[in-house]
Structure 1
């Protein structure tokens, strides 16, 4: 029996490994293309780009792993069913319940890994990626800027331009800097500037400016401010990066919160292992047809539609909890309960059909 258990586990794990690697490669390529289109390399560089891609891939694993397991169960057991190997296994006295247990021996460890990623790795990855994103949006990293080009960001409301730049000593001339703040806006014009690398004493990025003017424009004041300077050091304040965000919050922090958004996020994390296991059991139902009745293309299409429906409903369930349309009980769990109920009904119908065939 252990030999058969290992055989079925191998038939699931082989396609799982291939599918998860393909999904990771596709997602990483898509993320890289989006980040390159957003000119992230000009503010964070290639290393920052690669780090962001890695972090976003880690975040996506909580979704990619259930998808890969769902597909691998359909592919692996579907092949066994098509080649009538499942019928041979059943003829050896192994019941359908035993086959379900064999699938669970694979699905449960994978579900636990998915839960660990969702509860611990994903929040950490979100926290680091938020910091990198904010640096890409807010950091005045003129070392990577080119002369004669405008650099702007809708999120930070910042626009930067330099007329000339000496690549040898990173000296810049004819600097224009504009930033939109909540209650005012600021325009800075300087003849010369030089980017200064952060030191141990002060790790904030800053730039040295010479011979310039600062205009501070406000809608509340009748007279705008103008400051003329000979030399000035301009610091970039990135304290807002560390502001609380629920996706980056630790699971323990969410557990102690009573805010609907935090409750929805916590329940989403906790539900990942159960969702992974239930999706594997749902995939198992597609392999229960007789080999002669197997229609591969139709099976894959129905399986894809069911997963798409589940994915959309899971997002809807979390949104309903966030908006207090549904309370913390049943919270996001109603979808998993619905899936479990559907599996129980399917099992009862399948057993009833089996009893009917045995009586004949």
Structure 2
């Protein structure tokens, strides 16, 4: 079990560290997601570990003719089966608890962590020297051109942007260097909302977090701006001081996720996916007992046959 657990932890860490390297997760989220992933995997790893453990143990007894000696001393095979079942039943109960109660809780926590990570600001998680791309469909996407003006500049009617409902939003960010005091050097940001395209580049900048506000602020110096709109002329500008609003998104509820639903609710559901998830949770303790019983005949070997 320990070997399987180490292999699985290494596999999970490699996946989450890849996302952390891309700025999608921080260190704390990687650790928590890995631990939750291990909790979820225990319902599969423990039955497999029991099966191989029984195979190895009983196979050794057959190879060393210990089973023959035990049978000669009056210990029947049914008694050995009872011993195996006695060992498997407590483990099956543990696995039932993991599958029925721990599994939905762990998935709920996983979805919440993912939601918080996705709601975090793009600039706050960006790594220097690599492109960072995000895509999402917003129910309401507000362009911030009305606030993205140089001090003293007069706002034009086009800078008062209306909400765009259901538009796909894509943002690509590149920062060449981030100093120790979190100052940004050589910034490139391309934002596409529907058919509108905005490209901003700047020599230096600072990211100002505003935890209680609707937006974080990205202050850029010596910025160059290109904006293309679907129903009007393109905009090209060079601004000494340019402020962008970066939406301070709140974590959204994960919605209906089958794996996070309580087992009691799944038992009453008629949806095929819900029924499949319910049957999986119920089957894991039964599978544990079946694997333990299956290990008894599979571990048999003839004298001098080898393992």
**Which bin holds the TM-score, normalised by the shorter protein?**
0.7 to 0.9
Aligned residue in 1 for 2:207: 194
Q: Which moved more, 1:265-274 or 1:115-124?
A: 115-124
In structure 2, stretches of 5+ residues that fail to align are 138-169
Secondary structure of the residue that 1:58 maps to in structure 2?
helix
**After superposition, what is the alpha-carbon deviation per residue over 1:277-335, rounded to whole angstroms, capped at 9, x for unaligned?**
1011111112344434x442xxxxxxxxxxxxxxxxxxxxxxxxxxxxxxxxxxxxxxx
- Does the aligned pair in 1 maintain the 2:20–2:30 contact within 8 Å? no
**After superposition, what is the alpha-carbon deviation per residue over 1:8-40, rounded to whole angstroms, capped at 9, x for unaligned?**
xxxxxxxxxxxx000000111122222223345
Alpha-carbon distance in structure 2 between the residues aligned to 1:261 and 1:224: 50
- Does the aligned pair in 2 maintain the 1:126–1:247 contact within 8 Å? yes
- Does the aligned pair in 1 maintain the 2:16–2:30 contact within 8 Å? yes
Q: Does 1:151 align with 2:132?
A: yes
**After superposition, what is the alpha-carbon deviation per residue over 1:160-199, rounded to whole angstroms, capped at 9, x for unaligned?**
223554431x233664444667x6666474754414274x
Which of 196, 208, 215 is 2:217 aligned to?
Answer: 208
- Does the aligned pair in 1 maintain the 2:16–2:25 contact within 8 Å? no
User: Structure 1's 40 and 129: CA in aligned 2 closer, same or farther, altered over 3 A?
Assistant: farther
Aligned residue in 1 for 2:266: 254
Q: Does 1:162 align with 2:175?
A: yes
Alpha-carbon distance in structure 2 between the residues aligned to 1:254 and 1:185: 44
List structure 1 segments (4+ residues) > 6 angstroms apart after TM superposition: 211-214
User: Structure 1's 139 and 113: CA in aligned 2 closer, same or farther, altered over 3 A?
Assistant: same
- Does the aligned pair in 2 maintain the 1:142–1:195 contact within 8 Å? no
Alpha-carbon distance in structure 1 between the residues aligned to 2:251 and 2:186: 29
Alpha-carbon distance in structure 2 between the residues aligned to 1:225 and 1:100: 80
User: Structure 1's 215 and 194: CA in aligned 2 closer, same or farther, altered over 3 A?
Assistant: same
Q: Does 1:267 align with 2:279?
A: yes
Whose relative contact order is higher, 1 or 2, with alpha carbons under 8 Å and at least 6 apart? Answer: 2
- Does the aligned pair in 2 maintain the 1:209–1:234 contact within 8 Å? yes
Which of 168, 181, 184 is 1:172 aligned to?
Answer: 184
Which of 113, 123, 136 is 2:104 aligned to?
Answer: 123
Aligned residue in 2 for 1:49: 30
User: Structure 1's 33 and 252: CA in aligned 2 closer, same or farther, altered over 3 A?
Assistant: same
**After superposition, what is the alpha-carbon deviation per residue over 1:71-98, rounded to whole angstroms, capped at 9, x for unaligned?**
0010011111222222222223222111
Q: Cα offset for 1:122?
A: 1.9
Aligned residue in 2 for 1:25: 6
User: Structure 1's 283 and 197: CA in aligned 2 closer, same or farther, altered over 3 A?
Assistant: farther
User: Structure 1's 122 and 215: CA in aligned 2 closer, same or farther, altered over 3 A?
Assistant: farther
User: Structure 1's 98 and 180: CA in aligned 2 closer, same or farther, altered over 3 A?
Assistant: farther
User: Structure 1's 139 and 83: CA in aligned 2 closer, same or farther, altered over 3 A?
Assistant: same
Report matched runs for 1:78-157 at 5 Å: 78-137=59-118, 139-140=120-121, 142-153=123-134, 157=170
Q: Cα offset for 1:66?
A: 1.1
The TM-score normalised by the length of structure 2 is 0.72
Alpha-carbon distance in structure 1 between the residues aligned to 2:20 and 2:55: 40
Q: Cα offset for 1:45?
A: 2.5
- Does the aligned pair in 1 maintain the 2:115–2:254 contact within 8 Å? no
Aligned residue in 2 for 1:60: 41
- Does the aligned pair in 2 maintain the 1:40–1:49 contact within 8 Å? no
Name the count of aligned residue pairs.
266
Alpha-carbon distance in structure 1 between the residues aligned to 2:120 and 2:195: 20
**After superposition, what is the alpha-carbon deviation per residue over 1:197-256, rounded to whole angstroms, capped at 9, x for unaligned?**
74xx57x8x521346879696xxx745998x99655432435445222111222123223
**After superposition, what is the alpha-carbon deviation per residue over 1:134-157, rounded to whole angstroms, capped at 9, x for unaligned?**
444553253453444311257885
